[in-house]
Amino acid sequence: MFIRVTDQDGETHELEGLEGWRAMEAIRDWGLNIKAECGGACACATCHVYVGEHWFDQLPPPSDDEEDLLFSTLDKRPTSRLSCQIILNDGLDGLTLTLAESSRKA
């Protein structure tokens, strides 16, 4: 399966992912600019992405912890999610994500 990720500079990358991976792991392991400080523990919000509108409703809803963290970001939008909380599966083949500025490494 593949996901399409647009980075903070507007460049789109097609990344291979595997079922069960976190979207954050695919983004990080393919070398895109994502801070992901807590390594996927839902404790930092530095893996913030915007989900493509077509895909947003197909994801399981965020947990209360994820919602709280998203509210702590300064660049939250209606389609914001934490990419470490998006577990890839074949039904998400073609998922489109855009990296939020708040996810950029310093």
Tell me: does residue 1 bind ligand FES (CB under 6 A).
no
Quick one: 1 or 38, whose CB is closer to ligand FES?
38
Give the shortest CB-43-to-ligand FES separation in angstroms: 6
DSSP readout, 20-53?
A: T-BHHHHHHHTT-S---TTSSSSSS-TTEEEE-H
For residues 22 to 61, the per-residue mask of contacts with ligand FES, x marking binding by CB under 6 A and - elsewhere, is --x-----------xxxxxxxxxxxx--------------
8 with 33: CB under 8 angstroms? yes
How is residue 14 annotated by DSSP?
A: E
Binding site for ligand FES (CB under 6 A): 24, 36-47, 82, 84
